[in-house]
Structure 1
Amino acid sequence: MSSSEPSHSADPSPYAFAPPPLPGEPDGAIPIVRVDRETWPARAATLVPMARAFLEASEFEPKAGRIALVPAPDGSVAEVLFGVGSDDDPFAAGKLAAELPAGTYRFADEWPDLEGAALAWLLAGYRFDRYRERPRRAARLVAPKDVDAGEIERIAEAVALGRDLINTPANDLGPDEVEAAARRIADRFGAEFSVIAGDALLAANLPMIHAVGAGSPRAPRLIDMVWGERTAPMVTIVGKGVCFDTGGLDIKPSAAMLLMKKDMGGAAAALALAQMIMGADLPIRLRVLIPTVENAISGASFRPGDVMRSRKGLSVEIGNTDAEGRLILADALALADEEEPGLIVDFATLTGAARVALGPDLPPVYSDDDALAEDVVRLGLAVNDPVWRLPLWPRYRSMIEGKVADLTNAPAGGFAGSITAALFLARFVTAAKAHLHFDIYGWMPSSRPARPEGGEVQGARLVYALLKERYSA
């Protein structure tokens, strides 16, 4: 297997349900039954004496996350018991996919969220095996009745795409490779596709994208993808694509660089979302803009104290070359804003301050549209892609004012770092009807059900649910 190609070609696909039985045939699937401390006594009473004796001998308790294989008289598995608790992780069912032995399974009818449980099962099938073969799970799930199996499979496949991109190290994923991944999606769905790279960025009035990427031999670029009917409501997605961030001349310490392959997590989320939208044929006019660069160090690198002119015409004083993401996003957002779309959404692994405030699981979201922000938080909880709204606090606008330029990219003092970054980006969006900014982490520090350690696509499923709710009749 070449290390240059991802290996999600295993058969059967880990992002597909077990094939349905032929008409008139039983599905032969082993039922998975939820139990908790309240329901367990009644459930235990329905078991045959042999099964009850086995569970007592194995000391099964209906605690959250506990799994028990209930034997049939012939020694096969008759059913699976899965312990749940009152504050269960909504993706707890992913644990089943990871731990059950080979076989075909189905969720019993009493599961309260069959769609979420089925998605968790498929998401748990993810393995990053580009460089090392890892065993695929042998357990298969029959799609629950009354759920859109194709929809769930499309979402799982798109999340896997984003995870693959984030997990790929920078020696194999630079701006060229991000472009290639975006082009494959565009070709698959018949989207228009164009790229502005290298010095052509200056001619196209995208000077900050050019400046941030100038220190690397891998040319910076802006990827532009357009799909959908011209008369449909316009939604533009922007994703930060810093393929590796040394910090530039304000170089990061080595420990802070270890995860910097994930600094293109915003681009990964944007591409995953785009694949969900186009795969579902949502009735929108979609534009995807991905500024992608490597923030490297050379004689061509931009410097602390430099003043840049942005596409918007605002001048930006460089207080720190490690605050580069907001610079490339600013030019892309200004370009997006010129079309006055109904909604601009940007994803960016932007600030450590967001992680200090909310941790890795809960990205902040910013918007000056209260109704939109309420919908985003509500839907994030509904689809288990949670976010928390933080304010675009107007009194902090003075903190992003430059001393010799209109703006600074790195306010002194370090206070409210995620908010000031969001305020900086907001200066470049003035014509769009609405704007959402997600300051994501893009990484799982440790494995949890359906979310293995490594790259994670945050915000994409949430925004997909938002767009479906708003634009699908």
Structure 2
Amino acid sequence: MRQSHAAFAAPDSASIPLHVVGSEGLTAWLDTQPERVRTWLEAVGFAAKTGQTVCVPDAAGGLALAVFGLGDAQARVRGRMALGAARGKLPRGIYHLASGFEDDELPEQLLGWLLAGYRFDRFRHRTGGDADIPALKAPPRAEARRIEVLAAAEWLTRDLINTPASQMGPEELETSVLALADEFDAQVSVTYGDDLLHENLPLIHAVGRASDRIPRLLDLRWGHEGPRITLVGKGVCFDTGGLNIKPGASMGLMKKDMGGAATVIGLAMMIMALDWKVRLRVLIPAVENSISGSAMRPGDILTARNGLTVEVNNTDAEGRLVLADALALADEENPDALICMATLTGAARVALGPDLPPFYTDDEDLALALSDGAMVEADPLWRLPFHAPYEPLIEPGIADLDNAPSGGMAGSITAALFLRRFVQKTRRFAHFDIYGWQPSAMPGRPKGGQGQGARAVLWALPEVLGPDIENRE
């Protein structure tokens, strides 16, 4: 928990009451308040509209309490983490929730508060500090430690994605994994450059060989008992598109093409910080897809780790190539759960937009658990199918597989089908086609890098692997 404002205030801190009120409950709540509070709120026109925030003074001119509006029921259905909006509107100080949320609503709202404190200020000369950001005491009935872990892990994911590619290449991504391993006493092995060929990881090598930033596979292991969980994250630290070069407008956000890696790093942090009884493995192919004389070419045929041949019909469909080798390696151990995260296709965004990533799995229990976890953890997901009739689209005839089927239809599904060809043993496999970016600021989610799906996975895994893996107090 590196950032102090990603944590709650000390329980014994003096604090200011914060009341959270929906518009339909405003009259009943006002009836419980002293006349001076009612008079003040009437004078300033407080109607509990969404995001409306009012500070009520005491007789000495200090701050007696604050009130935050939730709006009506329809507004609450449309949004999430509403309390996060309050953090940016309240003056500095320490607050406690005096009213407003049921127990089952607290985790989402408290997490929203902590996530709203995120700032990516590495490249700015700050004029303020942590003291300028209001703090909150967690209610005694809340799982404060778990919420703090989730917030800190999401902060790490956001930091990794937001960092420009000039400061976040394969080497720097490795440094981040090594730092996390050091914090939690995990072990990391790394395969570099031409050693990728010697270790039978040819697709990772083919994608990364054109860059002077050496490609590598990061392999973290943690834990000695319990089910095997393997996380695979796409770590393309910048994607020019290769010889099928992207237009400038499409290249502008490509520092986030390692968002899958950043998300599984955050998820791994959650699992280790919560001290789960599992054997965790994290595999990250870390490369830069660049242009040079040694770049892979359209029409090249590559042989993957598992022996399948792939015709490269678009060098900009490189993410599925590096993931193929990593998934084949992961599948050799036949883990109890295999999770793949990647900023993989624009087709997923066309279908579902930036806020609703699709996931794919053949395991019905895992699918149900992920859908439930998405709701419980306010971490939206939507299941799309491994649609078997589309299998011929990824079979070019000249090779076993085509990395970029022509026609452009069902692009997210065909990419998922491609990846599934490299997972033959593992029964519980899920692939997430995430965006990894928040296009405009929302409560708890400032514009910029964004983890997606990690909290839903964290909730789902004990449902399918057994509750004993959680080490809850």
TM-score after normalising by structure 2: 0.94
Corresponding residue to 1:350 among 344, 354, 364: 344
| Partner Cα separation in structure 1 for residue 395 and residue 303 of structure 2 | 15
Q: Which runs of 5+ in 1 are unaligned?
A: 1-7, 22-26
The answer as to whether partners of 1:107 and 1:114 remain within 8 angstroms in 2 is: no
1:103 aligns with 2:93: yes
Look up the match of 2:281: 287
| Partner Cα separation in structure 2 for residue 294 and residue 37 of structure 1 | 51
Aligned residue pairs, count: 458
For 1:268-314, what per-residue CA distance to the aligned partner results, in whole angstroms no more than 9, with x for missing partners? 00100001001111111100000010000000100000000000100
Corresponding residue to 1:303 among 270, 273, 297: 297
1:71 Cα deviation from its structure 2 partner: 2.3
Look up the match of 2:240: 246
For 1:94-135, what per-residue CA distance to the aligned partner results, in whole angstroms no more than 9, with x for missing partners? 011111101110112441212221111111110001100344
> SS where residue 108 of structure 1 aligns?
strand
Corresponding residue to 2:43 among 57, 66, 69: 57
The answer as to whether partners of 2:190 and 2:217 remain within 8 angstroms in 1 is: yes
1:9 Cα deviation from its structure 2 partner: 6.3
> SS where residue 99 of structure 1 aligns?
coil
The answer as to whether partners of 1:282 and 1:472 remain within 8 angstroms in 2 is: no
Q: Which amino acid aligns with 1:146?
A: R
1:269 aligns with 2:255: no
| Partner Cα separation in structure 1 for residue 347 and residue 188 of structure 2 | 35
Look up the match of 2:122: 130
| Partner Cα separation in structure 2 for residue 32 and residue 147 of structure 1 | 16
For 1:218-273, what per-residue CA distance to the aligned partner results, in whole angstroms no more than 9, with x for missing partners? 010000011111x4210100000000000000000001000000000000001000
1:16 aligns with 2:16: no
| Partner Cα separation in structure 2 for residue 370 and residue 302 of structure 1 | 38
Look up the match of 1:3: none
> SS where residue 88 of structure 2 aligns?
helix
1:36 Cα deviation from its structure 2 partner: 2.0
The answer as to whether partners of 1:71 and 1:77 remain within 8 angstroms in 2 is: yes
Look up the match of 2:314: 320
Q: Which amino acid aligns with 2:101?
A: W
1:207 aligns with 2:202: yes
Q: Which amino acid aligns with 1:186?
A: A
> SS where residue 193 of structure 1 aligns?
strand
The answer as to whether partners of 2:95 and 2:134 remain within 8 angstroms in 1 is: yes
Q: Which amino acid aligns with 1:132?
A: R
The answer as to whether partners of 1:316 and 1:406 remain within 8 angstroms in 2 is: yes
> SS where residue 217 of structure 2 aligns?
strand
The answer as to whether partners of 2:20 and 2:99 remain within 8 angstroms in 1 is: no
Matches within 5 A, 1:90-239: 90-112=80-102, 113-134=105-126, 135=128, 136=130, 137-229=132-224, 231-239=225-233
> SS where residue 23 of structure 2 aligns?
coil
1:51 Cα deviation from its structure 2 partner: 2.5
4+ residue runs over 6 A deviation:
none
Q: CA RMSD in A?
A: 1.4
Worse-matched range after superposition: 250-259 or 116-125? 116-125
- The answer to which structure has the higher helix fraction is 2
For 1:355-386, what per-residue CA distance to the aligned partner results, in whole angstroms no more than 9, with x for missing partners? 00000000000001122111101111110111
Look up the match of 1:24: none
The answer as to whether partners of 2:21 and 2:100 remain within 8 angstroms in 1 is: no
The answer as to whether partners of 2:372 and 2:460 remain within 8 angstroms in 1 is: no
The answer as to whether partners of 1:34 and 1:111 remain within 8 angstroms in 2 is: yes
Look up the match of 1:68: 54
> SS where residue 298 of structure 2 aligns?
coil
TM-score after normalising by structure 1: 0.94
The answer as to whether partners of 2:194 and 2:205 remain within 8 angstroms in 1 is: yes
| Partner Cα separation in structure 1 for residue 99 and residue 121 of structure 2 | 34
Q: Which runs of 5+ in 2 are unaligned?
A: 469-473
| Partner Cα separation in structure 1 for residue 107 and residue 346 of structure 2 | 33
The answer as to whether partners of 1:442 and 1:455 remain within 8 angstroms in 2 is: yes
The answer as to whether partners of 1:266 and 1:347 remain within 8 angstroms in 2 is: yes
Corresponding residue to 1:41 among 22, 27, 38: 27
